[in-house]
Amino acid sequence: MKLIQTIKNIWKIEDLRKRLTITFLFVLIYRLGCFVVLPGISPQDLEAMRSFTNSGLIQLLDMFSGGAFSQASIFALGIMPYITASIVIQLLGMVLPQFKKMQNEGESGRMKLNQYTRYLTVGILLVQAPAYLVNLQYQVNAAGGHAHISGLMMFYLSIVLTAGAMFIMWLGEKITDKGIGNGISIIILVGIIARFPSAIMQEFTSRLSTAQGGLVMFLVEIIILFAVTAGAVMLVQGTRRVPVQYAKRIVGNRQYGGARQYIPLKVNAANVMPIIFAQALMFIPITLAGFGARQDQGGFTGWIATTFSDMNGFWYNAVYFLLIVAFTYFYTAITVQPRAIAEGLKKNSGFIPGVKPGTNTVDYLDSIMSRITFPGSIFLGIVAILPAFARYFGVSQQFAQFFGGTSLLIVVGVVLDTLQQIETHLTMHHYDGLMKGGKIKGRAQ
């Protein structure tokens, strides 16, 4: 009954109702576009692409695009080029003074960085679009199809793919401005969960066909999936609160400060970035070794291709796990800067009780981040390799992707952020929130 009443309260708030409706309509447009096949491509010849996207990094790209990649849709390249450009611009802001200055210029600097991100996205798309079309033609013809993409058609379809990806980016920005917020994240979320119904039905059917204990094993898988999701929620929401005392200041007849507040230091400040970096790095030796593996089957390149080609194998996941731990420390170090926090406290007449301002505060914050990052990195690595454990126990490849990795963390993080937005609107209008006890904490908290 509380859920029904909460839905009624949401519908009563005109602004929230309008934002949710706009979000739903834009998401519907995105999903419809995922089924519009590129001009000149026969849908009957796309079985090769579907078999090609059953594993590896390509399966991850297809999941993020909601299946548009394997369907040769006008949205086939999805939102990932924009995500890649955003990561590059963000890293440049940590390295180049010019970009760092723009990050500190407020709204005007943010607009400039967004413009550079769009330009870089177009550049990435103009490289990825022809590569996608060449691979599409190769896969279709290898499966006995008849795909022939001429030079003029290659140019035309590249423009279509680029325009489709930029349109998705525009939809995401509109969801952020006019909808419920987090537009790009919601686009990714929709692409991931669009694969879930077919994946769970495929797993259910395969378990029913098992001679003994099929339905019991399926129920066990669902329970484990809920448990892993709960662990991912704890990882996203986990924080260590550092108390901060502000000194009293009297300006005129008003008193400022004097209250104790807290600095929330996240257990997983890097979010999913370590998994993305490690995943990209793991495909480098496989790709390089693939060129010489046939000629050097008994040599070093052949050993690399054999050892790391199996994403469910021990050595692949062991190295993958260690890379995630290392990248978690690296990304946390460049995103969470104790010196900047200490300087901000000093400017606002704040201090950590029992710790001297300045260098001692920097060292204290740095030691806390080191201690909480270690369990966070271990947990993140375990979540990342859980799909391999699921495959070991006979879970289908498509359904195993929801047991961990980037997809699970993105779904959990975006859902929590969206619920937090709705919670904020409800409390502002003096309605009960979505949760009876405590507030929902998103990734930003």
Range of the domain at 18: 1-194
Give the Cα separation of 426 and 439 in Å (integer): 12
Same domain, residue pair 232 and 306:
yes
Mean pLDDT of the 181-208 span: 83
**3-state class of 62 per DSSP?**
helix
Domain shared by 171 and 259, yes or no: no
For residue 416, being part of any structural domain is answered with: no
Based on the fold, state whether residues 188 and 201 are members of the same structural domain.
Answer: no
Q: Over the stretch 93-127, which tens digit does the pLDDT of each residue have? A: 777 888 878 877 777 888 888 888 899 999 989 98
CA distance 288 to 307: 13
Are 267 and 374 in the same domain?
yes
- Higher pLDDT among residues 299 and 189, named by residue: 189
C-alpha closest to that of 366 among 261, 235, 242, 262 = 242
Q: Which of 194, 211, 235 is at the close of a domain? A: 194
Residue 269 inside a domain? The answer is yes
Scanning the structure block, which residue is given the tokens 């390089």? 288
User: What is the model's pLDDT at position 24?
Assistant: 92
330-356 pLDDT per residue, tens:
888 877 888 888 888 888 777 888 888
With H, G, I as helix, E, B as strand and everything else as coil, classify residue 436. Answer: coil
259 lies in the same domain as 307: yes
Whose structure tokens read 């005392």? 245
Question: What pLDDT band is residue 293 in, cutting at 50, 70 and 90?
Answer: very low
Query: In the prediction, which pLDDT does 415 show?
Result: 84
Which residue, 155, 172, 194, sits at the end of a domain?
Answer: 194
Q: How confident is the model at residue 29 (pLDDT cuts 50, 70, 90)?
A: very high
CA distance linking residue 351 with residue 348, whole number of Å: 9
Q: Which of 333, 332, 350 is nearest to 263 (CA)?
A: 350
To the nearest whole number, what is the mean pLDDT of the chain?
78
Residues 184, 291 within the same domain: no
What CATH number does residue 292 fall under? 1.10.3370.10
Q: Which of 264, 258, 250 is nearest to 350 (CA)?
A: 258
Q: Quote the tokens at residue 407.
A: 């997809």
Whole-number Å distance between alpha carbons of 358 and 268: 25
Percentage of residues of the chain with pLDDT beyond 90: 6
**Are 203 and 163 in a shared domain?**
no
Check whether residue 143 and residue 259 sit in a common domain: no
- Is the separation of the CB atoms in 126 and 162 below 8 Å? yes
pLDDT of res. 370: 87
Residue 225 sits in the same domain as residue 347 = yes
Same domain? For 184 and 206 the reply is no
Residue 230 lies in a domain: yes
Beta-carbon contacts of residue 329 (< 8 Å; ≥ 6 apart): 373, 377
Percent of the chain with pLDDT over 70: 78
Task: For tokens 């709960």, name the residue.
Answer: 230
Chosen domain end from 140, 164, 194: 194
The residue among 118, 54, 53 whose CA lies nearest residue 81 is: 118
Residues 6 or more apart whose Cβ sits within 8 Å of residue 304 = 285, 286, 288, 289, 293
Number of domains in the chain: 2
Q: What's the rounded Cα separation, in Å, for the pair 171 and 26? A: 6
User: Is 441 within a domain?
Assistant: no
Beta-bridged to residue 37, according to DSSP, are 73
Question: Residue 410 domain-assigned?
Answer: no
At residue 280 the predicted structure's pLDDT band, cuts being 50, 70 and 90, is: low
Contacts of 77 (CB under 8 A, 6+ apart): 65, 69, 125, 128, 129, 132, 161, 162, 164, 165
On whether residue 414 sits in a domain, the answer given is: no
pLDDT tens-digit map of 123-157: 989 988 888 888 777 777 776 667 777 888 889 88
User: Is position 438 within any domain?
Assistant: no
In-domain check, residue 160? yes
Q: Report pLDDT digits (tens) over 365-413.
A: 888 888 888 888 898 888 888 888 888 888 887 788 788 777 788 888 8
- Are 107 and 232 contained in the same domain? no
Same domain for 32 and 105: yes
- pLDDT tens, residue by residue, 45-64: 676 556 555 555 556 666 66
Return the structure tokens found at 92: 């440049």
Contact 164, 33 (CB under 8 A): yes
